[in-house]
């Protein structure tokens, strides 16, 4: 339950009062959806999203409902929003970026230093022949240079292509080739759990002829450098200053690739205006970020969260603390120490990370005095981990701001606003301007039932389609119901406006005609303290259509009673066959790879494994045939 101080601090409630809605959030949501021209224009003014040339219309649907243009006629540049303007303001000497390394390193940039480095690197890229619309792949850890490079590309009007630092050669080569990149910016290496990861070696194997490579000396180790192609970041010659590109609102800012289960990855295209406005809305109105905030998060620049932190946090004048590595290394209290050392006020943590810290006995030594809120995204919470985070870590007073959206949406769809009551693991509303609903299989809205999470309008921040593949984009999100974005998540909403997610809809398990999301069964299993982790999939069954198989990691030795407890907790109808494993295959940012697990178990091709964390190998999952022989 929020106290009066939290409500009074809220940027969104303050905006509602200025706009004449009082504290009536439902009436405001309805008004924002009914009049997007008013709402998004008001947002731009309220959050000081500066356009060098004003736009004359918020939205243009002339290419169709699914392909709108935003802030038509406007000129805007993300580098100005996040760096240039702050360098000539009272924020000049404030820390903009803090890097906390896997080996204990810490480096910082003030807003003035950030702007100086962005301008220098933009000029150096221009001297290498990079210009407007050219693509630059960023294969970097979360070092300050990653932020500099992202904004330098924006300054030139070039298009950054962030790539996950855990990618292997094939995954990186695919993204370089598909984007048609001119330059790759990488590092000599990075570390994970103190072990060296050879970024430059991967890059050497992936880069085709004709692509230049810039190498950041991150670890300080010597790496092979190819004459005429490779150059160290600190050895780039000084170049004449360049002007900030006068980019049009819908000019591409970045292409963020998602890893597909089959086929080539989808290149999600985001623009200067749409991505900037959506990031500002989510961070200011959703997370309630002010310019006195310090945001700490373990995030990789290659996934959506990295660029979103840059655009949301820096645009609003906050400090970003970018944390490399994993939360339980070198010890389980690492994340709390990072928060204390940097006076973090908004601490991001994924449910997987909270679960890992909890299982490792990582209760904080302090009360985390500066932390006002926790932020969470990437997957659904289970109740034991949520309650531990809220009570043991948060002292019953810090809200967990649950946030869910996607790379394609440019930010969030649902959130747990910190100024409203929050129930465990739930969301308490859509993000402003999002007409969100739950649909049954016929496309009718439902309340109190599990259905497809959908959005009935369009919004700034939504992708401008997939890179060079508009038909695939329309088929993926807009083909099921007319003019409705179907997100791919199962969700439910109650009469009281409490929203819950139930897993991906393509992971849905259907048993004797009854549908259930795997996350529901996983949550039920995790009520047993002997089960540390769980992943649930549906497999073919001739009698019932599908049956449930649960892969579980136990805290101790196997116990037959664990199976009995699983049946009690899940109910007989959905009782799973339990398979005890050493690790649950996950991505390096903690998402369970259910489809790959299912494929491995059934002996099918696993699809794209470029994001698989090698610490959780797919080979830990036995095949169904092996289970039969056992």
CA dihedral 83→84→88→94, nearest 10 degrees, is: 10
In the sheet that holds 159-162, the strands lie side by side as: 230-232, 212-216, 183-187, 135-139, 159-162, 252-258, 266-271
In this prediction, residue 262 carries a pLDDT of 43
Tell me the Ramachandran region of residue 481: left when phi exceeds 0, alpha when psi lies from -120 to 50, beta otherwise: beta
CA dihedral 361→366→372→376, nearest 10 degrees, is: -10
In this prediction, residue 515 carries a pLDDT of 65
Instruction: Work out the angle between the directed axes of helices 199-206 and 169-179 (0-180°, nearest 10).
Output: 50
In this prediction, residue 221 carries a pLDDT of 86
In this prediction, residue 479 carries a pLDDT of 93
pTM, full prediction: 0.88
User: Counting Cβ atoms within 10 Å, is residue 480 exposed (0-12), middle (13-18) or buried (19+)?
Assistant: middle
Write the pLDDT tens digit of every residue in 491-549. Answer: 999 999 999 998 777 766 767 556 677 777 888 888 888 888 899 988 888 777 788 89
In this prediction, residue 256 carries a pLDDT of 96
In this prediction, residue 453 carries a pLDDT of 96
In this prediction, residue 518 carries a pLDDT of 79
Q: 573: which 2 tokens?
A: 């109808």
- Residues of the chain where predicted confidence (pLDDT) is lower than 50: 261-262
In this prediction, residue 563 carries a pLDDT of 77
Domains of the chain: 31-325+399-502 (3.40.50.12780), 508-629 (3.30.300.30)
In this prediction, residue 24 carries a pLDDT of 95
CA distance 538 to 249: 44
Strand partners, 427: 499
């Amino acid at each position: 339950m929020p106290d009066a101080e939290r409500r009074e601090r809220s940027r969104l409630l303050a905006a509602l009062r200025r706009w004449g809605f009082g504290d009536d959030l439902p009436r405001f949501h309805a008004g924002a959806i009914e009049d997007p021209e008013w709402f998004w224009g008001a947002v731009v003014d309220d959050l000081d999203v500066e356009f060098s040339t004003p736009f004359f219309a918020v939205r243009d649907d002339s290419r169709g409902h699914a392909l709108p243009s935003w802030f038509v006629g406007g000129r805007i540049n993300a580098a100005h929003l996040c760096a240039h303007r702050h360098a000539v303001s009272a924020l000049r000497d404030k820390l903009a970026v803090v890097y906390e390394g896997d080996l204990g390193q810490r480096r910082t940039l003030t807003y003035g230093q950030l702007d100086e480095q962005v301008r220098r690197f933009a000029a150096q890229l221009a001297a290498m022949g990079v210009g407007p619309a050219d693509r630059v792949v960023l294969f970097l850890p979360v070092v300050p240079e990653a932020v500099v490079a992202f904004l330098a590309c924006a300054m030139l009007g070039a298009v950054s292509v962030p790539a996950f630092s855990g990618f292997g050669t094939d995954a990186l080569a695919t993204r370089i080739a598909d984007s048609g990149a001119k330059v790759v910016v990488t590092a000599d290496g990075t570390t994970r759990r103190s072990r060296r990861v050879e970024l430059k070696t991967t890059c050497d194997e992936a880069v085709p002829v004709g692509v230049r490579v810039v190498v950041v000396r991150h670890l300080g180790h010597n790496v092979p450098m190819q004459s005429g192609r490779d150059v160290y970041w600190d050895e780039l010659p000084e170049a004449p200053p360049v002007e900030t590109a006068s980019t049009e609102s819908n000019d591409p800012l970045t292409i963020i690739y998602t890893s597909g289960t089959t086929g080539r990855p989808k290149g999600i295209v985001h623009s200067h205006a749409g991505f900037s406005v959506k990031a500002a809305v989510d961070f200011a109105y959703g997370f309630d970020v002010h310019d006195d905030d310090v945001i700490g998060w373990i995030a990789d620049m290659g996934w959506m969260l990295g660029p979103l932190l840059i655009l949301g946090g820096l645009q609003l004048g906050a400090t970003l603390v970018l944390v490399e590595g994993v939360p339980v290394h070198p010890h389980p209290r690492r994340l709390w120490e990072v928060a204390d050392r940097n006076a973090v006020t908004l601490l991001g943590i994924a449910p997987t990370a909270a679960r890992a810290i909890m299982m490792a006995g990582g209760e904080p030594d302090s009360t985390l005095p500066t932390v006002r809120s926790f932020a969470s995204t990437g997957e659904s919470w289970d109740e034991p981990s949520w309650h531990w985070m809220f009570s043991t870590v948060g002292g019953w007073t810090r809200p967990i701001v649950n946030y869910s959206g996607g790379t394609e949406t440019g930010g969030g769809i649902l959130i747990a606003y910190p100024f409203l009551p929050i129930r465990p693991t739930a969301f308490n509303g859509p993000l402003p301007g999002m007409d969100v609903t739950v649909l049954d299989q016929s496309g009718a809205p439902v309340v109190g039932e599990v259905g497809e999470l959908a959005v009935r309008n369009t919004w700034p921040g939504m992708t401008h389609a997939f890179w060079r593949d508009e038909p695939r984009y329309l088929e993926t999100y807009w083909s099921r119901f007319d003019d409705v974005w179907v997100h791919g998540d199962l969700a439910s909403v109650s009469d009281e406006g409490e929203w819950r997610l139930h897993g991906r809809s393509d992971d849905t398990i259907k048993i004797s005609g009854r549908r259930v999301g795997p996350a529901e069964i996983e949550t039920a299993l995790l009520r047993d303290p002997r089960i540390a982790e769980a992943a649930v999939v549906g497999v073919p069954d001739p009698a019932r259509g599908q049956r449930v198989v649960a892969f579980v990691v136990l805290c101790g030795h196997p116990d037959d009673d664990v199976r009995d407890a699983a049946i009690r907790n899940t109910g007989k109808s959905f009782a799973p066959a339990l398979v005890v494993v050493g690790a649950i295959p996950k991505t390096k940012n903690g998402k369970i790879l259910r489809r790959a697990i299912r494929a491995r178990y059934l002996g099918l091709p696993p699809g794209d494994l470029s994001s698989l964390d090698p610490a959780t190998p797919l080979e830990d999952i036995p095949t169904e045939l092996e289970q039969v022989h056992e």
